[in-house]
């Protein structure tokens, strides 16, 4: 079953994580089991506290959605043991229409690769070299559909020698010696002579062997076969184990997690027609040919709480976007086909998802409703963000009733989890961090929502130092930190870089020293980014 990933933005906040989880739960409840929530980074302490409270695990992490080998419709031929016969391998290749056959060890790991060319080359060599070296008796019995006739033959595990057809001539003209594998028909005298010479093996074609010869004390293996002498000689060559013929050195193979971009480069530089595919345990799972690369299956994704390439999962250009559910401005996402887009001017994407539950006539579970209420409280900053709408408030209250929780208590727990004294400056900066490209200007805006901004401002110097390091490393024009205080109903703004633009945008007077309090400023999306866009645009 093909998985469709529902993923929020990079450096995910609580709304991004929860809206993806809630939408996946809705889809699965409606019978569409292939949907799976995912995240693009570590969950924040705030989000983890919410997940723990309502008994949920964080979604799985995905690093990118680039096309991988596992996304191809590759072949899954059988993998034969290295001890299997060439005859068995050739029969399998003919039945399955294969150009190569992977050869595996007992534990399923790759031993080598057998191609049709390897078999043909071996057959041509066997025409000129009639010597058979250490052919396992079990292999002989298999390819000849034969059986051992004498007790001495049961003692042999393998036979060697020059393969000789015993011609129907006088005893003095018998053309074989002790080191031979003799092929004969209804020729008792020749069989007796071969046993006297202690040949390695006598193969009797389409004939019975007299009982007195079977009772002779000898270590020669006597085998009967229903095939004629010509076919038998050819089949003896096919009784050799694959391991002696297949390629086992300098193999080119790929893993399920390899990216198609890298695979294509390797394939173009090599000469093989097909390549083994291995899983995480190095076991053979299939083979890849050039034509498999022509139409790869692309990963399918639903974008949640964002619609901007810079905020989305890496490799998005190699994926199929099926839906976008968001509450931000429209940005630069492009799709190859028409898709379902739902973008509404509300304070939280989870509010939109909750409405979709209602439209489908499905009530979320009490635990899921509590999770959704927490996400709305978080993204609307306890309903104080200018992005907050009456719909956010109504939906949050409804979810709280279903979950039997207090929104005030949820809010206090959420905004107390982000900025403990044990948190490093870097950790807090990266918790809710986003990068933007506006009219040729690159900037980063981080936001910390708390209930005691004065305590965080005691570390102002450390924050500014870390912000300058980010600006230098990334080559940004400006780096901004919003320390949004729920109780003060405003934001302590720290900034480095284009300080004149920041001061002009937010009407900051006097010697700001890279910091200013902005009353009623609560939203990065609706109050900070638009002000900078207006100046730079």
pLDDT, tens digit, 9 for 90 and up, residues 324-363: 999 998 888 889 899 999 999 999 999 999 999 999 999 9
CATH architecture assignment, domain 4-67+299-416: Alpha-Beta Complex (3.90)
Span 84-141, pLDDT tens digits: 999 899 999 999 888 889 999 999 999 999 998 888 888 877 766 778 888 999 999 9
Q: Determine the Cα–Cα distance for residues 537 and 534; give it in Å rounded to an integer.
A: 5
**Across the beta sheet with 147-148, what order do the strands follow?**
131-136, 158-165, 180-184, 201-205, 221-225, 147-148
Please indicate whether residue 17 or residue 440 has the higher confidence score (pLDDT): 17
Local confidence band at 459 (pLDDT 50, 70, 90 cut-offs): very high
CATH superfamily of 425-536: DHHA2 domain (3.10.310.20)
User: Average pLDDT, stretch 404-415?
Assistant: 91
The overall average pLDDT reported for the chain is 90
CATH 3.90.1640.10 in the chain: give the residue spans: 4-67+299-416
pLDDT tens digits for range 232-257:
988 998 898 999 889 988 889 999 99
pLDDT digits (tens, 9 = 90+) for 180-229: 899 999 999 889 988 988 899 999 999 999 999 998 988 899 999 999 99
pLDDT for res 27? 96
Higher pLDDT, 361 or 167: 361
Q: Which regions of the chain carry the CATH code 3.10.310.20?
A: 425-536
Check if the beta carbon of residue 195 is closer than 8 Å to that of residue 174.
no
Statement: residue 316 has pLDDT above 60: yes
Report how far residue 152's alpha carbon sits from residue 149's, in angstroms, rounded to the nearest whole number: 9
Question: Which pLDDT score is estimated for 54?
Answer: 96
Is pLDDT at 278 greater than 70 in this prediction?
A: yes
Average pLDDT over residues 408-432: 83
Alpha-carbon torsion (313, 316, 319, 323), positive or negative:
positive
Take residue 422 and report the two structure tokens written for it.
Answer: 């044990």
Confidence of residue 170 (pLDDT cuts 50, 70, 90): very low
The per-residue pLDDT for 393 is 97
Please name the residues in contact with 125: beta carbons below 8 A apart, sequence gap of 6 or more: none
């Amino acid at each position: 079953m093909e998985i469709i990933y529902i993923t929020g933005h990079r450096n995910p906040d609580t709304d991004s994580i929860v809206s993806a989880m809630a939408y996946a739960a809705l889809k699965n409840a409606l019978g569409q089991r292939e949907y799976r929530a995912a995240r693009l980074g570590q969950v924040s302490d705030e989000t983890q506290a919410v997940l723990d409270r309502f008994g949920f695990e964080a979604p799985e992490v995905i690093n990118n959605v680039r096309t991988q080998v596992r996304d191809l419709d590759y072949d899954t031929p059988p993998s034969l043991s290295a001890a299997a016969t060439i005859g068995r391998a050739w029969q399998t290749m003919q039945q399955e229409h294969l150009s190569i056959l992977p050869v595996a060890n007992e534990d399923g790991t790759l031993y080598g690769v057998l191609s049709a060319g390897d078999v043909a080359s071996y057959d041509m060599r066997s025409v000129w070299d009639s010597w058979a070296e250490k052919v396992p008796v079990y292999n002989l019995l298999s390819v000849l559909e034969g059986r051992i006739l004498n007790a001495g033959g049961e003692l042999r595990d393998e036979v060697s020698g020059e393969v000789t057809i015993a011609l129907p001539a006088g005893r003095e003209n018998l053309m074989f010696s002790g080191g031979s594998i003799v092929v004969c028909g209804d020729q008792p005298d020749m069989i007796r002579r071969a046993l006297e010479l202690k040949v390695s093996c006598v193969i009797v074609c389409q004939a019975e062997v007299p009982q007195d010869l079977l009772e002779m004390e000898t270590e020669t293996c006597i085998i009967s076969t229903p095939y004629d002498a010509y076919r038998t000689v050819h089949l003896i060559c096919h009784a050799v184990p694959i391991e002696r013929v297949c390629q086992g050195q300098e193999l080119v193979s790929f893993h399920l997690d390899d990216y198609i971009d890298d695979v294509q480069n390797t394939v173009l530089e090599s000469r093989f027609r097909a390549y083994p595919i291995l899983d995480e345990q190095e076991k053979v799972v299939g083979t890849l040919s050039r034509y498999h690369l022509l139409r790869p299956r692309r990963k399918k994704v639903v974008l949640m709480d964002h619609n901007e390439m810079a905020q989305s999962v890496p490799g998005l250009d190699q994926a199929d976007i099926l839906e976008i559910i968001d509450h931000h401005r429209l940005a630069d996402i492009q799709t190859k086909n028409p898709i379902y887009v739902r973008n509404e001017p509300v304070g939280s994407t989870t509010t939109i998802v909750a409405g979709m539950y209602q439209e489908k006539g499905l009530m979320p579970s009490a635990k899921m409703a509590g999770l959704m209420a927490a996400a709305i409280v978080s993204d609307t900053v306890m309903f104080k963000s200018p992005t907050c709408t009456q719909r956010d408030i109504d939906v949050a209250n409804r979810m709280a009733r279903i979950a039997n929780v207090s929104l005030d208590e949820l809010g206090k727990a959420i905004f107390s989890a982000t900025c403990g004294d044990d948190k490093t400056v870097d950790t807090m900066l990266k918790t809710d961090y986003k990068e933007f490209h506006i009219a040729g200007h690159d900037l980063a805006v981080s936001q910390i929502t708390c209930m005691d901004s004065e305590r965080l401002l005691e570390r102002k110097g450390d924050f500014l130092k870390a912000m300058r390091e980010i600006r230098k490393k990334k080559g940004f024009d400006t780096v901004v930190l919003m320390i949004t205080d729920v109780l003060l109903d405003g934001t302590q703004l720290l900034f480095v870089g284009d300080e004149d633009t920041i001061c002009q945008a937010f009407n900051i007077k006097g010697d700001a020293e890279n910091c200013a309090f902005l009353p009623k400023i609560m939203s990065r999306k609706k109050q900070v980014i638009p002000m900078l866009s207006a100046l730079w645009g």
